């Protein structure tokens, strides 16, 4: 076989592997919302290594690539599993949406969709953790409405997750129904003092409500608005390193 043909075949193999790695996968479990997700590894590690796993949940109107920059400079090796919201909205996706004849019906439908999507995410997290060599329980990182989902997952499925990172999010009182005091995973919450989308007070109220259930919640304010500040990125990496013996 000629050298140029070998080079060409090698390029095709690499391209095929690249597509397989970056192409979105879909939850295979029987769930209400078979969500799509993509995986990639950051830090000094290979795709086949046994690694901590972080479920990444974007904000409303974004997509599964939106938070890549948060982890781009991580030096701690982590496998990221970025899920995509099930409902298209503008140029992106959302986790919940309500339709109804009036506001009350639409709100009830929205909250029910949120719960059903959360159940799908729990199944998806279990499935991904079994599919890849995973160290410890999956962790969850969420921003904005994705942070609301992170709060919910940690509170309603505490045995499934090793830590929760919630940035600029809050949780409605209705979504705390049914919770009872018990051991929860550690929560690390961050909120901008000048957040114009989800006010600081709302985030603090959620943190206090979760902490009252015997959860370990560290709530930190930062200068800025509705964003993932550089200080937050650095602290998330520090906490993951500490949690996994780094």
CATH code of 146's domain: 3.40.50.1820
Phi/psi for 188 (5° steps) reads -120, 110
> Once rounded to an integer, what is the mean pLDDT over residues 116-136?
97
List of residues 6+ apart from 47 with CB closer than 8 A: 21, 41
Residue 48 lies in a domain: yes
pLDDT value at position 23? 60
Query: Does 203 fall in a domain?
Result: yes
13 pLDDT more than 70:
no
Residue 218 reports pLDDT greater than 50: yes
3-class DSSP state of 57: strand
Hey, what are 232's tokens? 């937050």
Predicted local confidence at residue 99, as pLDDT: 92
Instruction: Extract the tokens encoding 81.
Output: 């599993």
Number of domains in the chain: 1
Q: 79-109 burial, b for 16+ CB within 10 Å, e for fewer?
A: bbbbbbbbeeeeebbbbbbbeeeeeeeeeee
Contact yes or no for 68/82 (Cβ under 8 A) = yes
Give the residue, 82 or 179, on which the prediction is more confident.
82
User: Three-state DSSP class for 1?
Assistant: coil
Strands lying side by side in the sheet with 139-143: 25-26, 36-42, 78-83, 53-57, 139-143, 163-167, 186-192, 216-222
* Residue 189 included in any domain: yes
The answer as to whether 12 is a domain residue is: no
- Kindly report the pTM of this predicted structure: 0.90
What is the mean predicted confidence (pLDDT) over 40-46?
A: 95
| Residue position matching structure tokens 């800025």 | 224
Nearest-Å Rg of the Cα atoms of the chain is 19
Asked whether 111 and 172 are in contact (CB, 8 A), the reply is yes
Q: Crossing angle of helices 145-156/103-131, nearest 10°?
A: 70
Residue 211 falls inside a structural domain = yes
Say yes or no to pLDDT of 17 above 50.
Answer: no
* pLDDT tens digits along 152-207: 999 999 999 999 999 999 999 999 988 878 889 999 999 999 999 999 999 999 99
What is each CA distance from 165 to 3, 49, 239, in whole angstroms? 50, 23, 10
Query: What integer is the mean pLDDT of 69-90?
Result: 96
Query: Does residue 16 form part of some domain?
Result: no
Q: Give the residue numbers spanning the domain of 117.
A: 24-243
Whether residue 139 is contained in a domain is answered as yes
Specify if 33 maps to a domain: yes
Give the residue, 141 or 2, on which the prediction is more confident: 141
Would the pLDDT of 24 be above 70?
Answer: yes
Count of alpha carbons within 13 angstroms of residue 149, beta-carbon side:
32
Per cent of the chain over pLDDT 90 is 84
Q: 134: left (phi > 0), else alpha (psi -120 to 50), else beta?
A: beta
Q: What is the mean pLDDT of residues 72-92?
A: 96
């Amino acid at each position: 076989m000629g050298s140029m043909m070998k080079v060409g075949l090698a390029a095709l193999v690499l391209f095929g592997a690249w597509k397989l790695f970056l192409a979105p996968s879909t939850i295979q479990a029987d769930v209400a919302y078979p969500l799509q997700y993509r995986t990639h590894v950051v830090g000094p590690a290979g795709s086949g290594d046994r690694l901590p796993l972080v479920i990444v949940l974007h904000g409303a109107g974004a997509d599964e690539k939106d938070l890549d920059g948060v982890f781009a400079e991580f030096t701690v090796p982590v496998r990221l599993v970025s899920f995509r919201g099930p409902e298209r909205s503008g140029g992106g996706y959302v986790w919940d949406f309500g339709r109804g004849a009036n506001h009350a019906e639409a709100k009830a439908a929205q909250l029910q969709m949120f719960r059903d999507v959360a159940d799908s995410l729990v199944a998806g997290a279990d499935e991904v953790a079994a599919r890849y060599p995973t160290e410890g329980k999956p962790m969850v990182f969420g921003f904005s409405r994705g942070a609301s989902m992170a709060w919910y997952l940690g509170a309603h499925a505490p045995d499934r997750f090793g830590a929760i990172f919630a940035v600029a999010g809050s949780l409605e009182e209705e979504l705390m129904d049914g919770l009872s005091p018990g051991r929860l995973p550690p929560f690390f919450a961050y909120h901008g003092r000048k957040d114009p989308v989800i006010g600081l007070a709302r985030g603090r109220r959620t943190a206090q409500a979760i902490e009252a259930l015997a959860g370990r919640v560290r709530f930190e304010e930062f200068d800025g608005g509705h964003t993932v500040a550089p200080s937050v990125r650095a602290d998330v990496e520090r906490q993951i390193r500490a949690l996994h013996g780094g």
